[in-house]
Amino acid sequence: MAYDTIKLRSPYMDDSLVRRIEQQCILRSGMHLGTGEVLYELHAGELLGSWDSRISIKPMREEHVADKMGRVQMHPCEPYLLVEASVHKVQLGHNVYGGPTVFLQAARDLVALVEMLLQTDLPAADHWTVHRVDVANVFDLTKPSIKQFFESMQLLSFPRRGKKAMKTANSVYFPGKTTTVKFYHKGPEFQVHDAGRLKRFFRILFSHLYGTDTQNHERVERKVRALQRLADRRLRVEVEIHADKLQYDFGRCPTAAELTDEYLQRIHDSEIERVLREGKQGMETVRTEEAVWQRLQSLYEPKRAHFLHACWQVMATRGDEKARERYSKTAFYRSRKLLEEAGVSWRGSDVFIVANDSPIHDFTPMRVDRRFCYLPARNRPEYQVSRDLMRLAA
């Protein structure tokens, strides 16, 4: 597990200090004078997306307040800051591997970096409130396996988020009010959003280290190709936890010191289970025809096991929507609930109508899967770059 984009709100601050920060946000950027390349930039606005590598700093003088009728409107208040950034990219310059795993430390590091860049004393990070956290799990799969995974996802239906869901050949996106669930192949995303930026950074870095050495171009290409190879084998599963979810669970947006890693991982697991209709975390998920039949036989009496097995076959071959048409509403949702409780999945099964020798029949994007990435990347020189230097690439 690693953290990616987080959004923090500072305690109320002195107005003169915030005015000074506003001027810094407009002017503050790091530029290589020899090439004109921007090394880092403080951005006084919203980030373009979760892939954005900049640090967003928004001085605010209004906040949402509910009136007597329960309507939420913006009202003037004492000034404060909103800081949003990918703490993964802030630390490493990319989010292919590694990344912070302790939320409080990640928040402290982000606030300390902003404090250093602005050359301004800020309130302690422990007292900043949290308004967004992206929790990511990463899995090591071959490119054909990742392609097969997204093809199998086309059969899934998530009723509450189905209308807004976005499915492509390399990603699946389920937006929601309290959380947003994202599955995506890191390889194509890295190639579009990160490769060019890192090439520019490495060109500046190697020019500084080695001067006008003719080998600099090959050094740059070797570094970026190494990261691209890793990205091509990475399936990222992210849950974006919104302020609404944090307010519901805590009664308000919690401070960075109040938010625990256990809580964030639990939210990630529960949201992924809801989307994938997988079994519980502690039970091994089964999906092949024989394994499903053995599981149902061991848990339910024969008549119910036969009915559930038939329902599972329809969902595995035709998808949720067709199964919902075939069975009554009560029978469908009851059967699906019992299949979930039994740890049975109909995604990536071996009973597709078209013959399918899928390499990922036994894959589930949960921490129990053997392809879950929890160790450091391989100890090769292509991946070894100073963390402080890579921060400049963010």
Record the pTM.
0.70
Among residues 348, 238, 231, which one has the least CA distance to residue 285? 348
> Where does residue 274 rank: exposed (0-12), middle (13-18), buried (19+ CB within 10 A)?
middle
* Residues 6 or more apart in contact with residue 346 via CB below 8 angstroms: 155, 277, 287, 312, 315, 316, 339
Report the sign of the C-alpha dihedral through residues 324, 327, 329, 335, in that order.
negative
| pLDDT reported for residue 280 | 41
Among residues 197, 259, 250, 195, which one has the least CA distance to residue 225? 195
| pLDDT reported for residue 277 | 60
Contact 95, 1 (CB under 8 A): no
Among residues 394, 379, 384, 39, which one has the least CA distance to residue 208? 39
| pLDDT reported for residue 234 | 93
Q: Which strands form 38-43's sheet, in the order they lie side by side? A: 29-31, 38-43, 55-66, 72-86, 2-9, 129-140, 234-242, 179-185, 171-174, 166-167
Q: What digits encode the pLDDT tens for the residues 182-237?
A: 999 999 999 988 888 888 888 888 888 888 888 889 999 999 999 999 999 999 99
- Distances in Å between the Cα of 326 and the Cα atoms of 44, 276, 302, 332 are 53, 21, 22, 9
Contact 87, 110 (CB under 8 A): yes
Helix H or strand E encompassing 151: helix 143-153
| pLDDT reported for residue 221 | 92
| pLDDT reported for residue 355 | 42
Q: Which residues in the chain show pLDDT less than 50?
A: 27-28, 39-40, 43, 278-282, 354-356
| pLDDT reported for residue 259 | 94
| pLDDT reported for residue 282 | 44
| pLDDT reported for residue 244 | 92
| pLDDT reported for residue 226 | 92
| pLDDT reported for residue 354 | 46
Write out the DSSP string of 160-187.
TTTTT-EE-SSEEEE--SSEEEEEEEHH
Distance CA 35, CA 360 (A): 47
